Amino acid sequence: MNIHEYQAKEILSGYDIAVPRGRVCLTADQVERAAKMMGGHCVVKAQIYAGGRGKAGGVKVVHHPEQAQELAKELFARKLVTPQTGPEGLRVRRILVEEAVEIAREFYLSITLDRGASRYILIASAEGGVEIEEVAAKTPDKIHKLTIDPLTGLRSYQARKIALALGLTGSLCEDCVELILSLYRACLEKDCALVEVNPLVVTKAGWLMAMDAKMSFDDNAIYRHREYPDMVDYSQLDTLEITAGKYDLAYIKLDGTIGCLVNGAGLAMATLDVLNECGGKPANFLDVGGGASREKVAEAFKIILQDPDVKGIFVNIFGGIMRCDVIAQGVIEAANEVHCPLPIVVRMDGSQVEEGKRLLTTSGLNVQCADNLGDGAQRIVKMLG
């Protein structure tokens, strides 16, 4: 789960990390008033669930409240396309107006999960700012990494080593040690998958400040934080993902033409691999989980059908906890309700499989039953021609 920069900054300031003074606005008039409060000279920052805003015109310094208002009108009116949003871009519904800080140096600092090592990893670079991807690609030796042992946690001497590697000395170095330790504490306590400060800056006045902040939470830990669901900005999410979330279904959009309904993430991965091997391109996958009901399968099926890219549907379900006849009923119910004209291939196995197949083949739908995964993938690819 992602949150906006202004929300991440609110959290970080609760951990004594300095952030610029700012106000989040929902209208261009509010932006004007906020800019006035800052004395006219300020930074207008579009809040979207993606980075790269600076280069795309989503972060700009302005000098008058009217200029801030004009810029806000323009930002609210269009979608912002950055290298991280994909070509369709994201709508701007919130704008952060911030004091313009005079920056002396920009650094990169983040903590994220290294899934290979099953640990948090701290990443830092003295060459932070909007070119960080280029630094990582061209001069990877300028990126410092530290894998954090979950038992001992992050120690001061390790944080100091990073601060020194950034070229900080004296009291700034000690401030940076405190900041790094606070960032790690925030990361742990908020169950983050990522917390990134880019840039972390030294101001001309000689302070360390988080000038940008990105935070995403581990979806599996959301239940531990009652405030998280209210922090979601639905304007930033795919509508089908929102519906899927409501029914506790995991929906992932991809760029092909075959809609995939599966149970279990592992089976989903295998399904995508085999489809690709057969020359098919998945349009999405929807994981209904282990013990889904008929209604849940029906909802899942409807969500897949709402994706205009879907030209055919591949249902691949292993009926362990789930009974195959229940799955078949869900598929039939949903396909009839929305008058599904698309070809469907169902591969299922497990309890009540014969009854499930009988229900499907006598349903009058454009459906084929497959005996195994390979057979099913080949059939749906062939049906789509």
Structure token pair of residue 346:
């169902």
- Residue 148: CA atoms inside 13 Å, Cβ hemisphere, count? 26
- Burial of 53-85, coded b for 16+ CB within 10 Å and e otherwise, reads bbebebbbebeebebbbbbbeebbeeebbbeeb
Q: Select 67 or 158, whichever has its Cβ closest to ligand ADP.
A: 67
Catalytic residue among 5, 98, 106, 108: 108
- Whether residue 196 lies in the annotated active site: yes
E-state strands within the chain: 22-25, 42-47, 59-62, 79-80, 90-91, 94-99, 103-114, 119-125, 143-147, 192-203, 208-210, 214-217, 250-253, 258-262, 282-287, 312-319, 344-350, 367-370
The stretch among 75-83, 95-103, 194-202, 235-243 that binds Mg ion (CB under 5 A) is 194-202
Q: How far apart are CB 49 and ligand ADP at their closest, in Å?
A: 11
- Whether residue 108 lies in the annotated active site: yes
Structure token pair of residue 140:
């990877």
| Contact residues: ligand ADP, CB under 6 A | 20, 43, 45, 51-54, 59, 98, 100-101, 103, 106, 129-130, 198-199, 211-212
Give how many residues touch Mg ion by CB under 5 A: 2
Residue 211 contact among ligand ADP, Mg ion, none, beta carbon within 5 to 8 Å by kind: ligand ADP
Q: How far apart are CB 64 and Mg ion at their closest, in Å?
A: 25
Q: Residues 234, 240, 242, CA angle at the centre, nearest 5°?
A: 35
Q: Select 85 or 158, whichever has its Cβ closest to Mg ion.
A: 85
Residue 212 binding Mg ion, by CB under 5 A: yes
Q: Select 106 or 287, whichever has its Cβ closest to ligand ADP.
A: 106
Secondary structure (DSSP) of 221-252 = GGGG-TTHHHH--GGGS-HHHHHHHHTT-EEE
> Which residue of 198, 263, 271, 378 would you call a contact of Mg ion, by CB under 5 A?
198
Q: How far apart are CB 273 and ligand ADP at their closest, in Å?
A: 34
Catalytic residue among 98, 106, 196, 299: 196
Query: Which residues make up the interface to Mg ion (CB under 5 A)?
Result: 198, 212
Q: Which residues are catalytic?
A: 108, 196
